[in-house]
Every structure is written in structure tokens, then in C-alpha cells.
Amino acid sequence: MSKTLVIAEKPSVAQDIVRALTPLAGKFDKHDDHFENERYVVTSAVGHLVEIQAPEQFDVKRGKWSFAHLPVIPPYFDLKPVDKTKSRLAAVVRQAKRKDVSELINACDAGREGELIFRLIEQYAGGAKPLGKPVRRLWLQSMTPQAIREGFESLRSEQQMAGLADAARSRSEADWLVGINGTRAMTAFNSQGGGFFLTTVGRVQTPTLSLVVEREEKIRKFISRDYWEIHASFGAEAGEYPAKWFDPKWKKGEDVERRADRVWSAAEATAIANAVRGQPATVTEESKPTTQASPLLFDLTSLQREANGKFGFSAKTTLALAQSLYERHKALTYPRTDSRALPEDYLPVARQTFEMLADSGMRHLAPHAQTALAGNYVRPSKRIFDNSKVSDHFAIIPTLQAPSGLSEAEQKLYDLVVRRFMAVFFPSAEYTVTTRITTVAPTLPAARGSLPPEGALPGLGRPGAGQVDQHHFKTEGKVLVKPGWLAIYGKEAADEVEGGQAGDKGQNLVPVKPGEVVRTEQADPKGLKTKPPARYSEATLLGAMESAGKQIDDDELREAMQEKGLGTPATRAAIIEGLLTEKYMLREGREIIPTAKAFQLMTLLRGLEVEELSRADLTGEWEYKLAQMEKGQLSREAFMQQIAAMTERMVKKAKEYDRDTIPGDYATLQSPCPNCGGVVKENYRRYACVGKPGADPCGFSFGKSPAGRTFETAEAEQLLRDKKIGPLEGFRSKAGWPFTSEIVIKYDDEAHNYKLEFDFGDAKAEETGELVEFADASLGPCPICGSEVHEHGSNYVCTRAVPTAAQPLPSCSFKSGKVILQQPVERAQMEKLLATGKTDLLDKFVSMRTRRAFKAHLAWDAEAGKVNFEFAPSKFPPRPGVAKKTIAASPGRASAGAQKGTKKPAAMKKPAAKKAATPRKPAAGKAPSAALAAVIGTEPVARPAAVKKLWEYIKAHNLQDPQDKRSIVADDKLRAVFGKDRAGMFELAGLLGPHLG
């Protein structure tokens, strides 16, 4: 009997489908990777299982990223499995290829990405020729059993989904073309002076970065202005109340800093205060009731913004916590959503959720749930239940499962979602808002004594026969009458009012009788300064990404982006983290600040006239055209031709730019040129001497981005002043590997000028015999010999590991890097390691092999005689059938003491076996050639061990170039191995290949 294969996007959805179909189609048997009965096979992806790539013959590897190989516009795209989910892909493909499976149902999420996920899996399963099995589409906006059953009764045809499928593929391929070609073109442009300067761009990441850079440019150009406010206190029969002067005739103009309550001269502010002080005043006021509804339910972006503002969680952290609450604890619904409403058939589920909360025993939440049930608050409302406002997923709400064993951070986020879920059903908060205007009409004698000469201050008017101009003062009060939904938040209530002001926190006003005359008890001018716009936090940047389309002038593009913004809720956190990882931005407290590299990229895009890459217009234009494609009004071929043309134009602009520099807003350094004392100015690529006034430049300059790391202006200033800086991290070798080094400016006798050099500092003293003097305090005893450990260059070393006056010949080997795998190791952490045997858990290590971040302690490994990694025990129990991983450091593990080149330890890798991990065999040794055997011996050896022995030979014979430690000068034996006189340190493994085997 033939069967139908149902492919969902997530395992949880597959389970929901099975539960909904069981009453109709019969009981399902559960297998490792699918459910099955006589009619259906139900399985699932876990998001994207397949991604596109250029076919091998059209792709260009990073070593050949040059204009000669651009643009890369393949005629078609190949597919490759996503590394993390290869086993899941194999399981889904296995079901799709079954002979008894005659039909597929696409049950991935109802949207463009869900369509793409399924289509790529189907294509991959077919291989060289199509799978050839009919496909129908399950379109769900609600996951209740009844909604799922109704969805199966009204499956859509493949023809109905053709437009959405075309739009999904086109968006994916267009992103690839722009991202790959843009990144490679800008990298090639920036690497023209040598080295490898990775410059990533993308349709979403670059406009996001542009928002941050433009805000920083406004802050830097902002000129603060002085202004004054006049604060007064008035006495009534019932007591005093405060007020602030304002001009009722004021109208908004072009100057955005002008306000009705601001005065722009100290003399005018003082004159107003003097004129009203001690004078009688009349009072008018207006009181009216107002209501404040609760904010809408959370989508991912609003949850990330709220958690960042309340708890300081990054967008990435919030997403990870929400995912844990969804996947592990089953306590929240699917978090990667852009909807803030629920499906219209979800009312019974909402009521059941309140019943769960009322009985949950959570003392801070249960009483409010009980109040809602007793008051029948859970009722139909278009504000909450609206199918038209539900996209691929509905809003984030608690599930029917009460969680237990949550971490502190998970509990905070869960409470945030639960309170918002309950609040949206509660009545609106009710206030009485009172606006009181106090008018002072100074008498002529009082006014004359306080005013400056007639005509000096036109804003005050001219003295008349009995009075001068009246002065108005405003007082606002907002009193909470019925808390409504705010009762759920208690003391935090005022903070829950979106856009709330100080008065929203409750300001009771003393009463004033009708017709009562009050007296101006005090009136004082208060000097203030205008402030620049605030830097973005993650919360405000997420909001700016979400609303990016609102700033677009074109009506059609703005409409296309109305529901989209930059990125999606699922990708925005990753976009921000990517910009931080690539050092385009950095976090400082809760502020996000663009780096010099970011400004350089924006200068480049503006100079090359490819600014569409940095504006949200590009996304708006794409969304507009993709929407047309979904409706069948634009062909996929026409859209992709436009993308190819745009890509070619972008590469051509970069390739043909023929000027020495790019126009920009560049700095002038304060420190003089070390060679001639002239002025040093910044241009696009360099900091260069322009000479003394009236004199020619001397030729001194240094690159702004040596080895792919861009100097901040302050760093360039320090380097020029002190002729050294560092050690700095973030440099990249020509092969793209990160490293850390000091930078020095040294005099070059041949060039008769100063030049910039890397100074690795490690072996300088050992090679030259120069004696080392330590100026810093001891960090603690050496774990090998007990002598003192100090800072030296880019390392922490034992005093007996380098030549000193007390001991010219080194006798100890202890050395550990100040930066290990991009993780800075602070003095306090090294002191802790020397005192206790290990550091705190450090979280910024980055694997050289996978480029992924990982956490570990640094610990002294006595058996190996070096610093190694030690990993914290996993808080998740191992899956059944998976062998327990070794955590402790071992002698065979890569040493953490190496400053660079260290691979992520084997303990961090996933076992390849499905049922039980088997020990990995060591690499087989190969016989060295005669030339190599003359250097390392004749025993068979694996390539890593051969490289290690080769380095021992190089160190023992002092074959590193003193001017460039990364360059090896070959002696007769090495010349036979290298086939040339010199070789770079990163070439060694490749050069040994032909000699092993």
C-alpha cells in the first residue's frame, strides 16, 4: 500500500500533526526519526538542512579572491548539506526515496522560508534527476488539532505554490550573489596594498551597520548649545505645586532642538524669573479620564528589545533562552516569530493556559491568572486573535506545560512572557490626567525693575500702561484610578507604559479652588545643554532594523517593507553578532559603537558609488519584486537577471576605481611625523606625512589596516606618539588565520625613513641574547620551577625562561600567551591560574578549525608540562547510546599555551558514530623523503608531527628572519625540502606534503 510522506519544519510540529491525525488515520508507531502508520509517514527537518553553493567549476577559493575572478555568477546552484544537521537530512531523504512513498506533503511553516526549506530538501533527495513524486502543501496558521485536520482537508496544489517557491529561491540566490561578490570585491579592493583584508558586506548586515555609523556621525558632528528652562513653585491655599514656563504661541520649525519650554539666552531666562517671582497668578485646569491598554503580545524582536532594556540580555542571549524554553522545557511556543497576535481558533487554548497558570503554584503569577478566570477576562478580541496578523507563526506565549528547573535567566524571560500574555487579556488601566496652566501677569513696576533695556529682548514684549506680556507655566499630573493590567506588574507598573513619562508614575496635584489666585513663591532659571542623539543599544537597534522601511521615501518600497524591515526576527540577533564578530562594531556597556573598520567600509561604498548596499532601499526593492513574483506578476528569470546586472555593476565599480584615495571625512593626528616633524593626516588607506607648512612631505606613512585590522584613530595616535602599541588582537594572516602582535615604528636604514613592523616579542631575547628586565609585579610562582612569572611581550613567562642579568642562560620552559585563540587572558586570570591551578570559565575562545566560539578554563597540566584547556561538565545529560566524552585535559590535547595555531581540542568535536562513539585512530605515519629525513629523521611520521619537528630544527638553528619572524631562511638541508631560499611559516605544512609518502 502506498503512503504519503509529511515533512514538517520542526520535530514539535511533526508531533502536533501526528496527534491531530491519529483519531482519523489510526495510531502511529514512533521510530528514531519518523512516525508511521498504514497511511502516513511523518518526519521533520530542523530548520534549513540544505544550503546553496556555487558549483565547483564556478567557485573561487579565498586564496584567489581577486578582481580577475569576479564577478561569480554561476548559471545554476549546487546544494550542500548544512554541517550541523547532516544526519537529520539523511533520515528525511531516506524516507522520501522509499518505494512505498508515492506522495509528499510540504508541512513546513506557512511562509517563504518554509517553502524554501522543503524545496531544497526535495531537490537534494532527487539528486541529478527530480524525485518525481507529486507534492501538495499543508498551509497552517494555527497548530490546534482541529486547524491541522482542516488543513489536511484543504491541501494546496504545487501549481498554487509555484510563485512563492520562485520567490523563496530567488531571495536565497540573490542574497548569495550580492553577499559573495560584494564581500570578495571589497576584500580585493582593500587588499590591493598586500595582505588579506576581509571586508564582508551583505544585503541586511551592511544597511544595519549603516544605521549605527550614521548615528555615530551625527554624534561626532553634534555641537552642543546652551539653553535655559524656568522652573517655578506656586503657593495655593492647599499647598505648593511645581510648574515650568512655556510659550503657548510656539510652533515647531526646522530647528528640531527648539521647544516650547526652552529659552536661548541667560538674560531672557533671568528676566522672566525676576518678572514673575512674588507675583500673583491665575489658574485654569482641565482634567479628563484616559485609558492605557497593555502592550501587544511578544514577537521575537519585541521580546529581545524588552529583555535587553530590562535585564541587559543581548539579542543572541534572549533568542538562546527562548529556544531553550521552547525546545528543552516545552514552556514557550515557537520563538522565531514576527507575529504579535494569535489565531482566531486559539481562544480555548488561551483559557486552558490561564487554568494551568492558576494551578501552577507560581505565587507571583497564579493570583492574577485566577483573577482573569473569575472575571471572565479571556474573551474574543481582534487585538489578540486575528488570523490576518499571523504570518508563519503566531505570537510567543506560554504553553500548557508549567516549567520546572529553570535557570535564573530562563525564569526571568519566562516571567516576562507570562506577564505580557496575562496582561493583554486584562482591562485597560484607567487614569485621570490633569493639565494645569498657571498664568502670571506681572505689574508694571515689578516688571520694570527686572527687565533689561527696552528692545533688548523682543520675546518679552514692550512695557505697556499697566502690564507686560503674560507668562505661562504648565503642570501635568497623571493619577492611576484603576490599575487594570498594571496590577500584574505591581511596583514596575509605570515602566510598562510604552513611551511613559515621569508623570505617568503618578504625580498628585494639590487642589486649587475655582477663581483662586495663587502666588509665585519661587522662580529660577535652570541652565542646560542640548544633547546629541543617543547611541544604539541592542534594544533600539533591533527596533531600528524592524522599522527600517518607514524611512524609505518611495511609497511602493515602503509598503513592501512594512511587515519586513531589515532581516527577520529569526536572523536579526545573528546579524548583530556577525557585525560584532567581524569587528565592525563593539559593545561598551549597553551601547553599540561602530569601529574604524565600519567607517572605512561606509567611506568605500560611498566613494565607489555603490551606496545601495548600505541602504534599506535594496531590501525594499527586493521585497516589492518578490511580492510581485508570488502573485505571478514578475518572472523569476527577470528578477535574477536584474540581480546579476546589479552584481556586475558593483564589481565593475570597485575594479575600475582609478584614484589614489577615496573622498571621506578624515582625521589629522596630533603627534608629529617621526621623520621630519611634519603633520600626519589620514587618507583612505594610510596615515601619511603631508610635511610641515610650506614644506614637501618626507614620504613617511603607515597602513591603516595592517594584516586586515583597522587602527582606531586613538590607536594610530598612540602608535605615532609612543612608536609602539599592543599587543593587539584581530590581525589575519594572508591565509585568513587570526593572530596577535605588537606593532612598532622603527627606523629603516635602507629607506632612510621610519616604517611599521609586527613585533611578536616571543623569541627576541632568546635569539639575540638581549637581557630582559621585568618592570611589572610578579603574578605568582612558576608551576614548573617556582620562580616568579611576569609579563613579557605577548606572553606570561617565568623569569628563568628568558635571559636575565641573574641568569643569562634560560633553564625553564613556562610560557603562556596573553591572547589564546582570540581570548584575552587578563593578569587577574593568570594570577588565579598560578595560585589555584586554573582560571575562571572564559567564553571568547574561537576554534581555528571551525571558527566557532567555545568556553573553557585554562588549567595547568602537570603531566604535559603546559597550560591546557579544561571544559566544564555539560549541564545536559548525554543522549542514550552516545559514549561519554572526555573533558579533562590530556597530554595529547592541543596546548592552550600556544599564542596561535592551536586547534580546538578533540573533546569538543561531535562523535561521528550514531550509536556509540569509537576512539579516533591517530593519523598514520608516512615515510619522509631523503631530503626531509636529513632534517627530522627517517621514522614514519604524520604531517602535524613532521611540522613540529621541522619547527624544532628551525628554532635550534636560528633560521627565523630577525626582521620578520614569520619568514624562515633556509640552510642547505631546508633548501632541499623547500625548493627555494625562504618560506613563510604558514607554508610549511603544504611544502612537506610532497615529502611524506
- List, for residues 306-355, the tens digit of each pLDDT value: 999 899 899 999 999 998 998 888 899 888 888 899 999 899 999 999 99
pLDDT at 442 over 90: no
Instruction: State the pLDDT at residue 874.
Output: 61
Would you state the cell numbers that stand for residue 608, as one nine-digit string?
565607489
Beta carbons of 817 and 897 less than 8 angstroms apart: yes
Across residues 212-217, what is the average pLDDT? Answer: 93
Cα–Cα distance, 928 to 934 (Å, whole number): 9
pLDDT digits 0-9 by tens, 841-871: 998 887 766 667 788 999 998 888 889 999 8
Instruction: State the pLDDT at residue 905.
Output: 38
Cα–Cα distance, 156 to 565 (Å, whole number): 29
Instruction: State the pLDDT at residue 176.
Output: 94
**Whether the predicted model's global pTM rises above the 0.85 cut:** no
- Report how far apart, in Å, the C-alpha atoms of 575 and of each of 114, 542, 578, 584 are: 20, 10, 5, 11
More confident residue, 822 or 828: 828
Residue matched to cell numbers 616633524? 677
Beta carbons of 448 and 484 less than 8 angstroms apart: no
pLDDT at 88 over 90: yes
Task: Determine the distance from the C-alpha atom of residue 292 to the mean position of all C-alpha atoms in its chain, rounded to a whole number.
Answer: 33
Instruction: State the pLDDT at residue 171.
Output: 93
Instruction: State the pLDDT at residue 446.
Output: 45
More confident residue, 387 or 58: 387
Contacts of residue 161, defined as CB under 8 A and 6 or more positions apart, other chains included, come to 106, 115, 137
- Report how far apart, in Å, the C-alpha atoms of 354 and of each of 143, 299, 334, 344, 760 are: 18, 20, 19, 17, 63
Instruction: State the pLDDT at residue 735.
Output: 66
Q: Is residue 286 classed as helix, strand or coil in its secondary structure?
A: strand
Cα–Cα distance, 76 to 55 (Å, whole number): 8
pLDDT at 148 over 80: yes
Cα–Cα distance, 986 to 224 (Å, whole number): 52
Residues paired with 230 in a beta bridge: 525
**Phi/psi of residue 442, nearest 5 degrees:** -60, 145
- Report how far apart, in Å, the C-alpha atoms of 104 and of each of 131, 134, 468 are: 10, 6, 85
What confidence tier does 445 reach under pLDDT thresholds 50, 70, 90?
Answer: very low
Across residues 270-281, what is the average pLDDT? Answer: 94
Contacts of residue 511, defined as CB under 8 A and 6 or more positions apart, other chains included, come to 236, 238
What confidence tier does 180 reach under pLDDT thresholds 50, 70, 90?
Answer: very high
What confidence tier does 450 reach under pLDDT thresholds 50, 70, 90?
Answer: very low
Across residues 244-269, what is the average pLDDT? Answer: 91
Rg (CA), the chain: 35
Contacts of residue 683, defined as CB under 8 A and 6 or more positions apart, other chains included, come to 660, 661, 666
Instruction: State the pLDDT at residue 195.
Output: 73
Residue matched to cell numbers 606593532? 743
Instruction: State the pLDDT at residue 116.
Output: 95
Instruction: State the pLDDT at residue 552.
Output: 52
Is 414 known to be catalytic?
no
What confidence tier does 68 reach under pLDDT thresholds 50, 70, 90?
Answer: confident
Single out the catalytic residue among 40, 326, 334, 687: 334
Highest mean pLDDT: which range of 361-365, 543-547, 583-587? 583-587
Highest mean pLDDT: which range of 94-103, 482-491, 895-904, 975-984? 94-103
- Percentage of residues in the chain with pLDDT exceeding 70? 86
What confidence tier does 878 reach under pLDDT thresholds 50, 70, 90?
Answer: low
Of 726-740, 763-777, 899-913, least confident by mean pLDDT is 899-913
Across residues 293-318, what is the average pLDDT? Answer: 92
Cα–Cα distance, 851 to 941 (Å, whole number): 28
Q: What is the mean pLDDT of the chain?
A: 84
Instruction: State the pLDDT at residue 920.
Output: 45
